Amino acid sequence: MRYYLIAGEASGDLHGSNLIRALHDQDPHADIRCWGGDRMQAAGATVVKHYRELAFMGFVEVIVHLRTILSNIDFCKKDITLFKPDVLVLIDYPGFNMRIAGWAKKAGIKVVYYISPQIWAWKENRVHKIKRDVDKMLVILPFEVEFYKKWNFDVTYVGHPLVEVVRQEKENVPVVPLSGKPIIALLPGSRAQEIKVKLPIMLQMVKHFPEYCFVVAQAAALPDSLYKEIIGSSDVLLVKDQAYNLLKQAKAGLITSGTATLETALFGLPQVVCYKGNPLSFWLATKLVKVKYISLVNLIMDKPVVTELIQDQLNENNLKTALTRLLLNADYKAELQNDYNTLWHKLGDSPASQNAAMEIIALVTK
C-alpha cells in the first residue's frame, strides 16, 4: 500500500520514523512518501520536504512567513495528488496538517491523524473540522480520549510513542561519558529563533555552578555556527545527536518546553522547564490558550511536578534558584522521582508505533 506522511517538527520526525518502521513490519510492500526529516528517511521513507523548511513558531512568525507557508501547502497538495496514496497520515503539526486534511477529505483520500492537535489547549472549536475531515484519530495522551468523547468523537488511544523510545534507549544503548565532572544538560530547543533567545539565559548558570560541566544538546538540523556564536569562549560542551546520552548521565537539565520535557521526565532527570518567545506572540497566546501548564509533564499529571519559568520569569536569578533546588534539595528530588514514576505508569507500556500502524492498515483494508 501507499502511505503519505506529514510531520513538520523534530518530534514528529522521531515518532514518524518509528511509525514508518512499524508500517514496514506489518506491510512489507509499503511505499512511503513523507514530509519529515533525517530519521524518517533513515526508516525507509522518501522525504519530499525537510521539517527545517517548515518550522515557524509563534503568531508573528507565521504571519511573516505566510507566503512561504501557502506555497508549501499548494506544493503538498500537488505532490499528494501525483503520489495517489491509499492513506494520508498526519503527525501533529496542526496549522499545516488540518488544512491538508480538509482538502484530502474532499479529494476522497482516507485521513488518519496520529498525535492529536492540542485543541484541548486552545481553539477547541477545531474539533468540528477534525470530526468532518479525519477518518481516524490516534491519540497519545490518556486524557484526550475523554476530551473527544464529550464531543461525541470516538478516538483510539495507542499509548505514548516516547515510552517505547526511552525504554529501548535505557535497555539497549550504553552511556558514553561526556565529562569527568557532573553534568548539567541544556536543551534550548530545535528552532534557531528560540535558541537565540533562551540559550544565552541558560548559559548564565555556568558562572554560578563552576563544579559542573554544562553540555548543550545541538539540534541535528541546525549548524554548529549558530551555537558557537552564542557559547563563545565559555567552557561549555556542544554535542550533536547525543541528547539521550546526555539525559542519561546529567544531574539536572534546563529544558525548553515541548516534547523534550516529557523525554527528560521519562529518563528520570530533574529539570527546569524554560520558555521565552516573541513578546507579541506570547501575549496573544495568553489570550487564547486555556491550559494551566506549559510542560507536558505537568499537563499529564495535572499538577506542578516540574518548575516552569515562562517569559519574564526566565531570568538569571529565578533560574539559579530553581537549579539550586534541583541539585541540593534531597526531599524535592525524591518527590520528583515519585511523580516521574507515576507519569510513566499513566502513559502505559503499550507499543504506540505498532498499535498506530495496525490501526492505519486496518482503516485502509476494511
- Asked whether residue 178 falls in the same domain as residue 192, the answer is yes
Scanning the structure block, which residue is given the C-alpha cell 528560540?
Answer: 194
- Asked whether residue 260 falls in the same domain as residue 337, the answer is yes
The mean pLDDT value for 115-140 works out to 92
| pLDDT digit string, tens, across residues 19-41 | 999 999 999 999 999 999 999 99
Phi/psi at 206 (nearest 5 deg)?
A: -55, -45
- For CA atoms 321, 327, 329, 334, give the dihedral sign: positive
Q: How confident is the model at residue 218 (pLDDT cuts 50, 70, 90)?
A: very high
- Asked whether residue 137 falls in the same domain as residue 251, the answer is no
Report the DSSP beta bridge partners of residue 35.
6, 49
> What's the half-sphere exposure (Cβ side, CA atoms, 13 Å) at 67?
1
| pLDDT digit string, tens, across residues 314-355 | 999 999 999 999 999 999 999 999 999 999 988 877 799 999
Q: Cite the DSSP H helix spans in the chain.
A: 10-26, 38-42, 59-64, 66-83, 94-106, 127-133, 143-149, 161-172, 192-203, 224-231, 243-249, 259-266, 279-288, 296-301, 316-328, 330-347, 352-365
pLDDT for 298 beyond 60? yes
- Asked whether residue 128 falls in the same domain as residue 276, the answer is no
| Domain presence at residue 119 | yes
- Asked whether residue 124 falls in the same domain as residue 251, the answer is no
pLDDT for 185 beyond 70? yes
- Asked whether residue 87 falls in the same domain as residue 138, the answer is yes
Cβ atoms of 324 and 211 within 8 Å: the answer is no
| Domain presence at residue 166 | no
| Domain presence at residue 164 | no
| pLDDT digit string, tens, across residues 263-277 | 999 999 999 999 987
Domain range for 74? 2-159+350-365
- Asked whether residue 216 falls in the same domain as residue 321, the answer is yes
- Asked whether residue 331 falls in the same domain as residue 210, the answer is yes
| Domain presence at residue 66 | yes
Measure the CA–CA gap between 197 and 127, rounded to whole angstroms: 33
CATH code of the domain containing 74 = 3.40.50.2000
Scanning the structure block, which residue is given the C-alpha cell 507579541?
Answer: 280
| Domain presence at residue 106 | yes
| Domain presence at residue 272 | yes
- Asked whether residue 6 falls in the same domain as residue 154, the answer is yes
> For the chain, how many structural domains are there in total?
2
The mean pLDDT value for 65-89 works out to 88
- Asked whether residue 120 falls in the same domain as residue 30, the answer is yes
- Asked whether residue 6 falls in the same domain as residue 140, the answer is yes
| Domain presence at residue 245 | yes
Entry pTM? 0.81
- Asked whether residue 322 falls in the same domain as residue 359, the answer is no
| Domain presence at residue 165 | no
Cβ atoms of 144 and 116 within 8 Å: the answer is yes
